[in-house]
Amino acid sequence: MNNSALMIWSVLFGAIGMGFFAYGSRQKAIVPWMVGTGLMIDPWFITNAYLLVAADLLLIGLAWFIRI
């Protein structure tokens, strides 16, 4: 994939991460807060679009299955 696909996925998952982060902050819930932080930070370190999508879907799934 080219850089434009990676940028689009990064913006999409960053926006989802911002939602998780805001929800976790307001509800004082650690899991959504950590998932939101991870979703916003991992595009800085993952440069492959397929790996980025897989990692971020794993993080979102983690928030779904671990509800504290």
The full DSSP string for 2-61 is: -HHHHHHHHHHHHHHHHHHHHHHHHHT-HHHHHHHHHHHHHHHH---HHHHHHHHHHHHH
- Domain regions of the chain by residue span: 3-65
Residue 2 pLDDT > 80, yes or no?
no
pLDDT tens column, 24-67:
999 999 999 999 999 999 999 998 999 999 999 999 999 899 87
> What is d(CA 24, CA 3) in angstroms, rounded to the nearest whole number?
31
